[in-house]
């Protein structure tokens, strides 16, 4: 259900339920289709993460493996380093807390892309400007859900005021392979998969690096 976009003082973000995601990438495709993104630009990406080993019990070898998915886009961070490094102030923030690119100021230097630990800003070579998720500002203004949220068949994605999301779902926001959340304080809440690894002790690896 769409949130009330006019809620005064609200700072918006995403919730992702890792335990419900089956890696179908419907969110990724919906985002790309809605924004008509060119080849090579993907604002929302689904990361496949897996690992494990064998446990030895006498003469018996028992597999101890795991695999899970993480759908990730711009997290509209409280401490948005993309805004800090932008030399032209093209990386801007709306009153609702969401970060967007002011293309009239952007020179495509890519400083924001290199600084962001999530790799959210991406250079659109067709326009020469940086581009990124703005939490579907136009849809939200019309009382609609962001395209990725509406498209998820397993309802693994949600959005709304970040304070309300944290109250409802908890405050976990740094599960491997995501980085240390203290760097940017993302407006993101994750309901971890049962096998989720901590950001600083993950023993797995990303299995689809070319896709992301």
The number of C-alpha atoms within 13 Å of 42 and in the hemisphere containing its C-beta is 17
What was the pLDDT predicted at 63?
A: 80
pLDDT at res. 44:
98
CATH assignment of 12-206, among 3.40.640.10, 3.30.70.20, 3.40.1410.10, 3.40.50.300: 3.30.70.20
Kindly report, residue by residue over 65-112, the tens digit of the pLDDT.
999 999 999 999 999 999 999 999 999 999 999 999 999 999 999 999
pLDDT of residue 1: 40
Q: What is the pLDDT of residue 6?
A: 54
Helix ranges (H only) for the chain are 26-34, 81-85, 111-115, 137-141, 147-151, 162-169
CB 98 within 8 A of CB 12: yes
* Domain ranges, ordered by start, for the chain: 12-206
- Provide the pLDDT for residue 5: 53
pTM score over 0.75: yes
* Regions in the chain scoring below 70 on pLDDT: 1-6
């Amino acid at each position: 259900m769409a949130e009330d976009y006019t809620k005064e003082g609200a700072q918006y973000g995403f919730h992702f339920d890792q335990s419900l995601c089956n890696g179908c990438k419907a969110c990724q495709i919906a985002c790309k289709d809605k924004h008509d993104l060119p080849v090579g630009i993907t604002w929302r990406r689904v990361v496949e993460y897996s690992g494990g080993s064998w446990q030895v019990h006498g003469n018996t070898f028992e597999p101890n493996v795991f695999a899970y998915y993480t759908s990730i886009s711009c997290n509209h961070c409280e401490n948005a380093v993309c805004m800090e490094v932008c030399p032209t102030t093209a990386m801007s923030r709306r009153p609702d807390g969401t970060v967007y690119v002011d293309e009239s100021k952007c020179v495509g230097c890519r400083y924001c892309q290199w600084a962001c630990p999530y790799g959210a800003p991406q250079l659109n070579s067709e326009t020469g400007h940086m581009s990124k998720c703005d939490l579907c500002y136009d849809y939200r203004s019309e009382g609609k859900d962001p395209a990725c949220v509406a498209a998820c068949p397993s309802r693994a994605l949600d959005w709304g005021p970040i304070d309300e999301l944290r109250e409802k779902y908890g405050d976990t926001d740094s599960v491997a392979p995501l980085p240390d959340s203290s760097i940017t304080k993302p407006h993101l809440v994750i309901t971890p998969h049962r096998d989720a690894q901590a950001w600083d002790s993950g023993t797995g690896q990303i299995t689809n690096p070319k896709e992301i």
